[in-house]
């Protein structure tokens, strides 16, 4: 590239600025212009909720780069408070407006990168203008200003950002209510896993109202459902985002039915001189149809890939898994891939595994229990998704599984992973290995039953046997179960010959040993996956009766 | 399997008991006998050092199962204080001796599993009988007894167990000296990474004597090197292990030249009715020759695989990576695969990458710096090994890389991993992603120089340019370097045209930007991998001058 090329980038944060810096490293001579409508570039969107709660004390810590510093180091022409208002793909120009002066300029480009992100949805309800949203520093400042002197806050939407905000408003001392239309928090999790997060939120003293829609925002209250009022000095809307694809649409670029920009594997849009990345773009997924994925890692990664493609070093993106995580009131919840809910809706044949392992060896102090879930393709044993919730170590396990998915490992092959073990970090059989063991057993023909399938099986005449101890059973049991502690099961096995039996324990592990035993006595047997703990979470989430006594 | 088969297992801990329980789950009718020479089965070897230091308070917590409980649940015939003293492979019998009564019994078997482990080496020096070792609970009790009233301890050997013991004796209030023959601690790490652990040990107040051999143990002292005495009320030897393969040898089973039992992919020895697993067995490795790997995860895994094979469900083991970890004085050090040292000794063409990322986003409180290292096959871009040292998050990154290796991902593909990101857990570009970015750049032809190669390059006329700031340079610089801060480099670039330049910054990141810039001005340029931090660690480890001033 000997002639001087001009690259224009719209949006100066995660995707945009990653493209700009990489372009500079690949092309020292190019003219690189970054236009950003807001006050700041390169800020830490993901940190915004934590400054609201004072966890991140220093506001400036959220501003990772300034236009001046980027100018000095990367010779970037960074223009803040400058909006791109029109693209002429034929002329290859973009019209930008200086928001301070109102002055406009048409900038010719050789390549254009769009990373305009997505903006919070404002639902069409009375008083919506009183609702705050959180996307940038100005929004954050507005929430903090509103929180001063306020005592009661309502957060609408129990997605990642809504929950982070609820936690941080609670940290500030506000009385917080979350209202969520759906019957669960955090859609990337299945209901029985999300329930663990919901319980933690409630234990922390935040009110969580599921299956509750916000219908109006008043001056000092909100109205939900059939007209109930909830007092609120401060209302935040966090009910989803909409792609900022207006410019792209007007320029005639291909969008999907939801308005997200369509790109090829090299981040190129339907126009050969325009690339797009980040939250405004629809992404290919590993299993299933293309979807948006609003995550900073992908925005950064794709920004670099767009730069590579523009500079003549094309490198294809891999389909997205959508690995996501939240830390909330001391709990971590992480997920990757697809949910059981989605896959069952699609009619996919899947195997599901729940476990409740300790994050590290139980004999070493401080071990805490995780709840884990693995979703596996029944035909191929491929991993389709995983979820983990716990005090510690959930991030590690989901990262490991995400990597296994990227490497195309089967679920059974998780048993062979050599994960670093010393007692303060893991167990000799890491929780991920254990998922592999269980997957291997299922692949070998062992039967399990999900918590939501149990009632139908019982109705169909299967006997439910609780193999836990007397004490465990007395503390809470599944309706209709019969108690035979595992260590006495051999004596009762002959009596069950020929019958159909579901065994269950607390987490599934003793159930497995029980199932192996009974099978060899000619019993048709299935193990209740995840045991009493998973069943209880599912029951609590869906309103099944959770107490009962063994016959 | 309708007839009753007899399975005998020698060694009732990690590998042996895993085989026994799995065998029971696969074969309810078999007679399963576990013989264990020691007092206990199923104890937590890996926890022993931590009871010495009181970190694990309750001794009983280390005993995970008892013969009685295993009898009840798994109908196992578990015999402690019983030693297997001879195997007759032709007759398929094993002779066992009750160590209490001295009574002997010959037990016929259909299948025999050996999991006898490895025993600590006692070096042939005067007074060696005064040295304690640590393998089981009795050893641990002896160390604790000796530590009572003692004030000074010497630990010989700076491997995992030696260092864990040193830390725990220090926790008990003893004045601890570690003596190690080699020039570094922890052989699975390269010297510049091990140096970080060594520094931490010294900072904690433990004396570390490298390149120092123990030559004698006296009553109240040890003698090292040329005759120097070090006072010691308590001496622990942790200088390696030897396989307990005497029985196997006497039975005519194939051993390797170091005396480890040789098995096939299904853990079967050279005798078709005898299987072997665990520390006494030599393991196939992913890259390089077969070696022993003394790790609990593999012992457990292979115990289960032996059971599967015996029960007629053969499932091949995968070659071992050898993922290992230690927590020491608040620092974590983890490694997987092969070291640079080994690979260079073998003459392999490799690329090496060092980074110093934060474990989570810098703008979120509590971030700490990791030191990471990735070793890559130059021809194929395959990952050959990785090491990580830091306060937090090292275990996660090594587990992810171990998984990537298991999945056969290239180093560059680490850039595409979708790892769970929220600011308290990681960065939008996770440290593992960043290793992928750098690997991708190197695969694309960018040049880097290792800390140990720098002097030769300088001698060969390469100019060393420090692109850090004035302040950083003033606080410590590499001898012979010239300072041109990155943000001023463009102005000086023309002056360097045609020259051979090594650039360096603190960690390698600004160096990368500098290198990209200079290259486009016609400079032959290489980036000092890992920057000043890696160079300093390497220099400190090898005694290079670490201070100097820029020209
Ligand atoms: C509160 C919050 C918390 C989050 N937490 C996490 C998290 O923990 N983990 C995670 O992975 N992700 C998180 N995200 C998501 C993550 O920040 C986004 O996925 C990522 O920033 C998307 O990058 P982008 O470049 O597409 O868009 P953005 O980073 O939003 O940048 C787009 C920029 O383009 C500008 N722009 C738009 N249109 C124009 C125009 N016409 N002219 C000029 N400028 C324009 C906008 O002003 C905006 O600054 C969070 C997001 C928010 C808001
Ligand atoms: C102090 C210490 C700390 C460790 N820390 C870790 C760690 O953090 N992480 C990790 O992965 N690994 C660690 N290990 C290593 C791990 O414990 C071993 O890899 C694992 O226990 C090996 O299992 P095994 O079944 O081969 O041998 P072992 O667990 O040692 O069991 C072998 C048993 O066989 C018995 N035996 C031997 N010969 C006979 C015979 N002839 N008759 C009857 N019985 C016999 C022995 O008495 C012994 O109890 C540690 C080991 C020790 C000693
Ligand atoms: C930070 C930002 C300006 C991008 O700058 P950048 O220089 O491309 O990225 P980083 O500072 O992360 O550095 C990465 C570069 O350094 C290189 N690098 C990092 N460590 C290195 C090391 N030790 N040795 C050599 N190279 C190294 C990487 O290879 C990469 O260069 P490449 O893209 O040419 O391969 C942009 O991502 C941004 O604005 N981020 C903030 C907004 C955001 O991401 N928000 C969402 C999350 S809160
Ligand atoms: C513990 C020990 C006795 C083995 O017992 P085990 O019953 O085989 O192993 P675990 O208790 O870990 O349970 C694993 C079994 O439960 C199953 N399991 C675990 N959780 C489950 C769940 N939630 N649902 C269904 N099955 C589950 C696994 O699949 C596996 O069964 P499989 O081998 O038939 O597939 C043996 O490993 C031992 O003695 N360990 C202590 C010594 C040691 O390891 N030392 C070194 C480290 S300190």
Inter-axis angle of helices B160-171 and B191-203, to 10 degrees? 10
Average pLDDT over every residue of A395-400: 98
Cβ-based neighbours of A178, under 8 Å, separated by 6 or more: A154, A155, A156, A157, A158, A162, A163, A166, A185, A201, A206, A207, A208, A209
Is A11 within 8 Å of A296 (Cβ atoms)?
Answer: no
Q: CA-nearest residue of chain A to B297?
A: A428
Q: For B364-404, what is each residue's pLDDT tens digit?
A: 999 999 999 999 999 999 999 999 999 999 999 999 999 99
- State what percent of residues in chain B have pLDDT above 70: 98
Give chain A's domain count. Answer: 4
Average pLDDT of chain A to the nearest whole number: 97
Chain B positions touching A444 (Cβ under 8 A) are 313
**Token pair belonging to B357:** 């990322």
pLDDT at A544 over 90: no
Average pLDDT over every residue of A171-182: 98
Q: For B455-466, what is each residue's pLDDT tens digit?
A: 999 999 999 999
> Considering the domain boundaries, does residue A322 fall inside one?
no
Co-location of B438 and B344 in the same domain: yes
Q: For B325-368, what is each residue's pLDDT tens digit?
A: 999 999 999 999 999 999 999 999 999 999 999 999 999 999 99
Is A449 within 8 Å of A528 (Cβ atoms)?
Answer: yes
Q: For B160-211, what is each residue's pLDDT tens digit?
A: 999 999 999 999 999 999 999 999 999 999 999 999 999 999 999 999 999 9
Q: For B208-247, what is each residue's pLDDT tens digit?
A: 999 999 999 999 999 999 999 999 999 999 999 999 999 9
Chain A positions touching B26 (Cβ under 8 A) are 516
Query: Looking at the whole model, is its pTM more than 0.90?
Result: yes
* CATH code where residue A474 lies: 3.40.250.10
Q: How confident is the model at residue B550 (pLDDT cuts 50, 70, 90)?
A: very low
Q: Check residue A410 and report its DSSP letter.
A: B
Taking the CB of residue A238, how many other CB atoms lie within 10 A of it?
A: 26
Q: How confident is the model at residue B2 (pLDDT cuts 50, 70, 90)?
A: low
Average pLDDT over every residue of B425-445: 98
Alpha carbon A138 to its chain centroid, in Å, reads: 25
The region of weakest confidence among A168-177, A312-321, B282-291 is B282-291
Looking at residue A547, its pLDDT comes to: 55
The ipTM is 0.98
The alpha helices in A444-488, defined as continuous H runs, are 454-459, 470-474
**B395 interfacial to chain A (CB closer than 8 Å):** yes
Average pLDDT over every residue of B270-293: 96
The Cβ-side half-sphere exposure at A250, using a 13 Å CA radius, reads 11
Length of chain A counted residue by residue = 551
Is B518 within 8 Å of B496 (Cβ atoms)?
Answer: yes
Co-location of A303 and A356 in the same domain: no
Task: Please give, rounded to a whole number of angstroms, the shortest distance from the CA of B233 to a CA of chain A.
Answer: 28
Provide the chain A residues 227-266 that lie in CB contact (below 8 A) with chain B: none
Taking the CB of residue A128, how many other CB atoms lie within 10 A of it?
A: 14
Co-location of A253 and A197 in the same domain: no
Of A400, A426, A443, the residue at which a domain comes to its end is A443
* CATH code where residue A168 lies: 3.50.50.60
In this complex, do A403 and B408 lie within 8 Å of one another by their Cβ atoms?
no
> Considering the domain boundaries, does residue B352 fall inside one?
yes
Co-location of A232 and A248 in the same domain: no
Q: Which domain holds residue B230?
A: 128-239
Looking at residue A2, its pLDDT comes to: 54
Q: For B469-516, what is each residue's pLDDT tens digit?
A: 999 999 999 999 999 999 999 999 999 999 999 999 999 999 999 999
Query: Using alpha carbons only, what angle is made at residue A168 by residues A166 and A169, rounded to the nearest 5 degrees?
Result: 65
Q: Which residue has the tokens 């696969």?
A: B26
Co-location of B136 and B166 in the same domain: yes
Using alpha carbons, select from B364, B55, B512, B269 the residue that is nearest to residue A50: B364
The Cα–Cα gap between B7 and B19 comes to: 10
Of A412, A443, A474, the residue at which a domain comes to its end is A443
Bigger pLDDT: B145 or B543?
B145
> Considering the domain boundaries, does residue B433 fall inside one?
yes
Q: Which residue has the tokens 């040049």?
A: B447
Looking at residue A288, its pLDDT comes to: 83
pLDDT at A480 over 50: yes
Farthest CA pair distance, chain B: 88
Q: Is B508 in the pocket of ligand 3 (CB under 6 A)?
A: yes
Nearest to B418 among A298, A364, A404 (CB): A298
> Considering the domain boundaries, does residue B175 fall inside one?
yes
Co-location of B154 and B67 in the same domain: no
**A302 interfacial to chain B (CB closer than 8 Å):** no
Farthest CA pair distance, chain A: 88
Co-location of A139 and A72 in the same domain: no
pLDDT at B546 over 80: no
Looking at residue A370, its pLDDT comes to: 98
Co-location of A389 and A431 in the same domain: yes
> Considering the domain boundaries, does residue B453 fall inside one?
yes
Nearest to B487 among A73, A406, A424 (CB): A73
Is A38 within 8 Å of A80 (Cβ atoms)?
Answer: yes
> Considering the domain boundaries, does residue B366 fall inside one?
yes
Q: How confident is the model at residue B3 (pLDDT cuts 50, 70, 90)?
A: confident
Average pLDDT over every residue of A159-165: 98
Q: Is B78 in the pocket of ligand 2 (CB under 6 A)?
A: no
Query: Using alpha carbons only, what angle is made at residue A429 by residues A423 and A430, rounded to the nearest 5 degrees?
Result: 75
The Cα–Cα gap between B27 and B21 comes to: 10
Co-location of B399 and B460 in the same domain: no
CA A309 → CA A9, A293, A298, A303, A517, distances in Å? Answer: 14, 21, 16, 10, 59
Taking the CB of residue A96, how many other CB atoms lie within 10 A of it?
A: 22
Q: Is A64 in the pocket of ligand 3 (CB under 6 A)?
A: yes
Co-location of B203 and B184 in the same domain: yes
pLDDT at A466 over 50: yes
Chain B positions touching A486 (Cβ under 8 A) are 73
Q: For B286-295, what is each residue's pLDDT tens digit?
A: 988 999 999 9
In this complex, do A325 and B421 lie within 8 Å of one another by their Cβ atoms?
yes
Co-location of A132 and A220 in the same domain: yes
The Cα–Cα gap between B58 and A89 comes to: 72
In this complex, do A406 and B407 lie within 8 Å of one another by their Cβ atoms?
yes
Task: Please give, rounded to a whole number of angstroms, the shortest distance from the CA of B428 to a CA of chain A.
Answer: 5
Co-location of A248 and A113 in the same domain: yes
- State what percent of residues in chain A have pLDDT above 70: 98
Residue A505 among the catalytic residues: no
* 3-class secondary structure, B106: strand
In this complex, do B406 and A407 lie within 8 Å of one another by their Cβ atoms?
yes
The alpha helices in B106-232, defined as continuous H runs, are 137-147, 160-171, 191-203
Q: For A358-377, what is each residue's pLDDT tens digit?
A: 999 999 999 999 999 999 99
Task: Please give, rounded to a whole number of angstroms, the shortest distance from the CA of B15 to a CA of chain A.
Answer: 11
**Token pair belonging to A86:** 């029109």
Q: How confident is the model at residue B548 (pLDDT cuts 50, 70, 90)?
A: very low
Q: How confident is the model at residue B549 (pLDDT cuts 50, 70, 90)?
A: very low
> Considering the domain boundaries, does residue B322 fall inside one?
no
Provide the chain B residues 202-221 that lie in CB contact (below 8 A) with chain A: none
Of A187, A204, A239, the residue at which a domain comes to its end is A239
Q: Is A125 in the pocket of ligand 3 (CB under 6 A)?
A: no
> Considering the domain boundaries, does residue A315 fall inside one?
no
Q: For B292-307, what is each residue's pLDDT tens digit?
A: 999 999 999 999 999 9
Chain A positions touching B320 (Cβ under 8 A) are 418
Average pLDDT over every residue of A261-280: 98
Q: How confident is the model at residue B547 (pLDDT cuts 50, 70, 90)?
A: low
Average pLDDT of chain B to the nearest whole number: 97
Is A32 within 8 Å of A7 (Cβ atoms)?
Answer: yes
**Token pair belonging to A264:** 């090829």
What number does the ligand 3 atom closest to the CA of A307 have? 33
The Cα–Cα gap between A21 and B105 comes to: 76
H/E stretch holding B482: strand B481-483
Sheet with B214-217, edge to edge strand ranges: B214-217, B221-224, B228-231
pLDDT at A515 over 90: yes
């Amino acid at each position: 590239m000997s002639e001087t090329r001009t690259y224009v980038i719209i949006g100066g944060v995660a995707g945009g600025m990653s493209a700009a810096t990489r372009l500079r490293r690949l092309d020292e001579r190019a003219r690189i212009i970054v236009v950003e409508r807001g006050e700041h570039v390169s800020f830490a969107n993901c940190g915004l909720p934590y400054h609201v709660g004072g966890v991140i004390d220093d506001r400036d810590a959220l501003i990772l780069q300034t236009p001046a510093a980027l100018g000095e180091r990367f010779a970037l022409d960074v223009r803040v408070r400058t909006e791109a208002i029109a693209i002429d793909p034929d002329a290859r120009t973009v019209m930008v407006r200086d928001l301070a002066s109102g002055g406009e300029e048409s900038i010719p480009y050789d390549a254009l990168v769009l990373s305009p992100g997505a903006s919070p949805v404002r639902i069409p309800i009375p008083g919506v203008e009183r609702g705050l949203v959180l996307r940038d520093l100005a929004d954050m400042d507005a929430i903090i200003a509103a929180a001063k002197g306020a005592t009661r806050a309502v957060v609408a939407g129990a997605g990642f950002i809504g929950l982070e905000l609820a936690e941080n408003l609670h940290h500030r001392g506000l009385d917080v209510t979350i209202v969520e239309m759906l019957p669960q928090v955090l859609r990337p999790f299945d209901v029985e896993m999300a329930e663990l997060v919901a319980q933690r939120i409630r234990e922390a003293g935040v009110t969580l109202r599921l299956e509750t829609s916000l219908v109006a925002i008043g001056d000092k209250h909100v109205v939900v459902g059939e007209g109930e009022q909830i007092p609120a000095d401060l209302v935040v809307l966090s009910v989803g985002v909409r792609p900022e694809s207006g410019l792209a649409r007007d320029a005639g670029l291909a969008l999907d039915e939801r308005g997200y920009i369509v790109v090829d594997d090299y981040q190129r849009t339907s126009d050969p001189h325009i690339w797009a990345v980040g939250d405004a773009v629809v992404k290919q997924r590993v299993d299933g149809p293309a979807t948006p994925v609003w995550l900073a890692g992908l925005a950064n990664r794709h920004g670099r890939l767009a730069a590579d493609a523009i500079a003549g070093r094309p490198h294809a993106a891999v389909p997205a898994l959508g690995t996501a995580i939240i830390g909330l009131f001391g709990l971590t919840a992480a997920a990757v891939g697809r949910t059981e809910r989605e896959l069952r809706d699609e009619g996919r044949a899947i195997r599901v595994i729940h476990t409740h392992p300790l994050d590290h060896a139980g004999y070493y102090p401080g071990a805490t229990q995780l709840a884990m879930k693995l979703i596996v393709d029944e035909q191929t044993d491929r991993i389709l998704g995983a979820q983990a919730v716990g005090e510690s170590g959930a991030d590690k396990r989901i990262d490991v599984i995400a990597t296994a998915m990227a490497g195309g490992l089967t679920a059974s092959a998780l048993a062979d992973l050599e994960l670093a073990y010393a007692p303060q970090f893991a167990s000799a059989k890491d929780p991920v290995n254990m998922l592999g063991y269980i997957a291997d057993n299922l692949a070998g023909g062992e039967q399990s039953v999900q918590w939501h399938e149990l009632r139908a099986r019982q109705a169909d005449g299967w006997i439910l046997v609780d193999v836990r101890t007397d004490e465990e059973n007395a503390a809470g049991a599944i309706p209709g179960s019969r108690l035979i502690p595992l260590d006495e099961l051999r004596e009762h096995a002959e009596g069950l010959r020929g019958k159909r039996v579901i065994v269950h324990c607390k987490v599934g592990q003793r159930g497995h040993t029980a199932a192996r035993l009974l099978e060899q006595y000619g019993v048709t047997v299935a193990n209740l996956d995840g045991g009493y703990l998973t069943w209880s979470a599912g029951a609590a989430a869906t309103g099944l009766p959770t107490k009962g006594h063994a016959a």
